[in-house]
Structure 1
């Protein structure tokens, strides 16, 4: 090896640098816990550390010794986090660490410490020390310095350079951000940029929470019926009800929920759509009084969590979504409105094996709380894109084209099947959550719906996967909406009238009104005509599009091209949006 290092000193120096990140990303990828992103960025961003080497070759050993001392603790942090949690280290893990107190940290060390951590640490440290000892003094001509330096700089800083050249609005900010996210998978930038992003997102979250604290409580909030002791709100992800056998799909993708429905234990609402095909934007309306007409109400009126706190409920937010990302700050803000938080997914990338069954134990623990009134909000990964990551191999039920539409060709069959398998696994998790709640034998209410749907080759005229608000299809908006109530709850409340709403056309933008009536609450701003279970319900246009750009707002029936436009003359409601 020493002979190779002397003959190819730059290659050996690169191997020394890359070791600290490859030693972490190779196990992640080989075990199927992440995609290739981390490996690709490690290959490219490791060239960054070669720049001082080619500029000051006579100090190669000193420079790489200093670099190793910086990368070593960062790499160890990622490795031990992976060993303990089986997840990729990210700024979400930093958030959890800073949100923990000294007692929790001490308990963590006692719980997870293993004797073999010490020999592992010694072996892991010995490898780069040995590699460093093989390093020769590097000698480069001026021409070689220029050539190597130019190539390495171009490789390492291409995200910044490319974005700067392609972006016209806020180019410096965008270029810096893209450079950061490319460098973040590698040591020590996993810690450095993870902390920077944590600070930025904490500042944004603090502003939102402070704004929410200034909101006035709901006027004249009262219980008008027997309140459930336990309320569980299950938020799914990217699940199109048209791919559920519960809603008539020919493949048996929801056998457990089908059985519950046949037993008369489930209310299945069959015509609910989401207002937006994106998680954050959809939940901003669903969990607040905001809608297409009044998006500002999210900021200046109470949210669903505020309402339930005011009603005396202890709230626990359990999430299997990523804790902190550039997009998920709003979700973390929602979680911080709760009394207790459980963050299960600290992966840096969404494309990682993270199964929703992980929520079951925390939910059971939350239900065992001594609080008289409990609201548990469970936010799952559901059937989020990267469908094969959403279920274990034992749930790879659909493997051929049996039951698939005729337009599903062999080249897209695997992804089509993966989505159906994810739906079938989601069926298992939702049914299991119902089982956990049933076991408590309390006056309980469970509501499940997905934040939005997902197009997965459902339209033969335009084969496509994902969501695009600019070119909407029904699959992007049609969501399951299920309600389960315990026998004890039904003994106290007559909910027989709820079934009248099962076929009503409804937008989940108004969910807070339905939820309030299901729980048994009333207040001045409650709109019974917006409640799916109210005898006063009035059908209305189901607007989809961006509320901040009113010209994009369209009636769902018109936008998806499957139904006649909603007849405004049939409603007494004022829906003048100026469009």
Structure 2
């Protein structure tokens, strides 16, 4: 029994470090990644050279988990941020060696106790590994078979890339490369942003009225209009937007046939803000960017986001005058709720600037769906309704039906936030001026609509079917405008109309509100697509 004590202590130390740095399911995944080296210490090895090698590898691996947990716990405590969040990556990329030393010196009093505890734990780890190596275990055959079975389970964890990339010995070298890459990208993106501002100035943008103007663009994420009761869905997922459409009547326009031209966020936003003229990897060239034009014409621009995405931050957000990023947990496991950014939106709308453009980038219904709403707000979990019956009739798997329940609950929470942004825009209507509001999603989501799949879907129509809503304070929309097909990469022309913005190179035929609007179907990788539905 004494031979097991060092291994058990090492396992407890790893578990404590993992719990300090990771939450919930991720903590269990990390423990499976740490388990092989602990099991290896249990396996009898005769040769001294192999024992020494095992001790070195075991110490390096376990120390990696201990240091990883300490670093993550520090970042969470001090900044509520993950190490691969935009906040931390940007800070590291923007810090010189001298500044790093100065920062560590300033933090040393607060870190001293934790640092002593970490160094003590590392020293005890070395002692425990030595003891485990010097006290070989005699394992009977059943125990060896159990050990092999556990190692096989751990091997599956290592085969999963989303799990494996968080292993400390893989994560931190990749993190350092991300910092290096970000420094290189920054230099390139700064040049491109400067070019976009020059392009905007050359186009001589101007606002067609002297009156104050407040305009908001709300960008949803992964929202399929087929899951919105506003568009006829059977579950009551958008009660607040329906109430607003009845209240506002002709001033709130719901475009019934709205489409994204891309099935991913970065590509979609690149098209939207460049008026369909620029891909996400293209240099600025002579293209225009909506935010650069707005600023050049005298608008003060805000970017308020619940995303943590370096590409979106660098390509679009940094063109704004003011940037507020509330989410510091990158990836699908972020639990940051969209409602948490409403205070920042309120502050932007309350600013005394006569012309304001506020871009609000929501996390919407991005997978994981169950993290996109507050705990306990799962109104469709019971199933058994018309939607569930239709999915069962279509042969959808049980797990897909459960994902649909989560997705629809996320849409219902999202409905509340989107409706709040419109109400806030109305409330801040400038005196003797006008206000406008636009909402659309970057792309759609396939959640059992046409096949057993839940997630992004570039090969099905669900990956591109999005909602699009417009509101303005000073005029009704045409009665037939709702039936016009609409594409998100042309949305910039429509938003410019709401802003009363004009410049050299305007293309009114791409503005869905203009009398000369001329629809052109986008080329999408989906067969037999009907855009007027």
Q: Which band: TM-score by shorter chain?
A: 0.7 to 0.9
Deviation at 1:479, TM superposition (A): 1.0
In the alignment, is residue 76 of structure 1 matched against residue 70 of structure 2? yes
Q: 1:341 aligns with which of 323, 348, 357?
A: 323
In the alignment, is residue 391 of structure 1 matched against residue 377 of structure 2? no
Q: What is the aligned partner in structure 2 of residue 203 from structure 1?
A: 184
Q: Deviations for 1:257-313, whole angstroms, at most 9, x for unmatched residues?
A: 111111016321211111111111111111113359999686531211111121122
Which deviates further from its counterpart, 54-63 or 503-512? 54-63
Q: Are the counterparts in 1 of residues 90 and 182 from structure 2 also a CA contact under 8 Å?
A: no
In the alignment, is residue 22 of structure 1 matched against residue 18 of structure 2? yes
TM-score relative to the length of structure 1: 0.72
Alpha-carbon distance between aligned partners in 2 of 1:201 and 1:47, rounded to the nearest angstrom: 38
TM-score relative to the length of structure 2: 0.78
Alpha-carbon distance between aligned partners in 1 of 2:347 and 2:95, rounded to the nearest angstrom: 20
In the alignment, is residue 421 of structure 1 matched against residue 405 of structure 2? no
Count how many residue pairs are aligned between Structure 1 and Structure 2.
Answer: 497
In the alignment, is residue 278 of structure 1 matched against residue 264 of structure 2? yes
Distance 1:295 1:193, change over 3 A: closer
SS at match of 1:201: helix
Q: 1:463 aligns with which of 452, 477, 496?
A: 452
Alpha-carbon distance between aligned partners in 2 of 1:101 and 1:120, rounded to the nearest angstrom: 23
Task: Note the residue ranges of structure 1 that are not aligned, 5 or more in a row.
Answer: 142-150, 164-177, 546-553, 565-579
SS at match of 1:342: strand
Q: What is the aligned partner in structure 1 of residue 227 from structure 2?
A: 243
In the alignment, is residue 379 of structure 1 matched against residue 374 of structure 2? no
Give 1:213-232 correspondences, 5 Å limit: 213-215=194-196, 216-217=199-200, 218-225=202-209, 229-232=213-216
Q: What is the aligned partner in structure 1 of residue 468 from structure 2?
A: 481
Give 1:85-104 correspondences, 5 Å limit: 88-98=82-92
Deviation at 1:239, TM superposition (A): 0.5
Deviation at 1:70, TM superposition (A): 6.9
Q: For the aligned residues, what is the CA RMSD?
A: 4.5
Alpha-carbon distance between aligned partners in 1 of 2:328 and 2:54, rounded to the nearest angstrom: 36
Q: What is the aligned partner in structure 1 of residue 338 from structure 2?
A: 356
Q: 1:454 aligns with which of 445, 451, 464?
A: 445
Alpha-carbon distance between aligned partners in 1 of 2:69 and 2:281, rounded to the nearest angstrom: 44
Distance 1:127 1:483, change over 3 A: same
Distance 1:94 1:480, change over 3 A: same
Deviation at 1:74, TM superposition (A): 4.2
Q: Are the counterparts in 2 of residues 21 and 42 from structure 1 also a CA contact under 8 Å?
A: no
Q: Deviations for 1:129-178, whole angstroms, at most 9, x for unmatched residues?
A: 6555544343599xxxxxxxxx9xx99x989x989xxxxxxxxxxxxxx7
SS at match of 1:496: coil
Deviation at 1:125, TM superposition (A): 7.0
In the alignment, is residue 521 of structure 1 matched against residue 512 of structure 2? no
SS at match of 2:130: coil
In the alignment, is residue 401 of structure 1 matched against residue 398 of structure 2? no
SS at match of 1:214: helix
Alpha-carbon distance between aligned partners in 1 of 2:15 and 2:204, rounded to the nearest angstrom: 63
In the alignment, is residue 560 of structure 1 matched against residue 517 of structure 2? no
Task: Note the residue ranges of structure 2 that are not aligned, 5 or more in a row.
Answer: 137-147
Distance 1:307 1:68, change over 3 A: same
Alpha-carbon distance between aligned partners in 1 of 2:159 and 2:257, rounded to the nearest angstrom: 45
Q: What is the aligned partner in structure 1 of residue 286 from structure 2?
A: 300
Deviation at 1:379, TM superposition (A): 1.3
Q: Deviations for 1:305-354, whole angstroms, at most 9, x for unmatched residues?
A: 11112112222222212234xxxx24543222222222222324313322
Alpha-carbon distance between aligned partners in 1 of 2:159 and 2:49, rounded to the nearest angstrom: 24
Q: Are the counterparts in 2 of residues 16 and 131 from structure 1 also a CA contact under 8 Å?
A: no
Q: Deviations for 1:474-503, whole angstroms, at most 9, x for unmatched residues?
A: x222211112335xxx2xxxx324554222
Q: Are the counterparts in 2 of residues 17 and 49 from structure 1 also a CA contact under 8 Å?
A: no
Alpha-carbon distance between aligned partners in 2 of 1:300 and 1:82, rounded to the nearest angstrom: 42
In the alignment, is residue 259 of structure 1 matched against residue 243 of structure 2? yes
Q: Are the counterparts in 1 of residues 277 and 287 from structure 2 also a CA contact under 8 Å?
A: no
Q: Are the counterparts in 1 of residues 308 and 329 from structure 2 also a CA contact under 8 Å?
A: yes
Deviation at 1:372, TM superposition (A): 3.5
Deviation at 1:390, TM superposition (A): 1.0
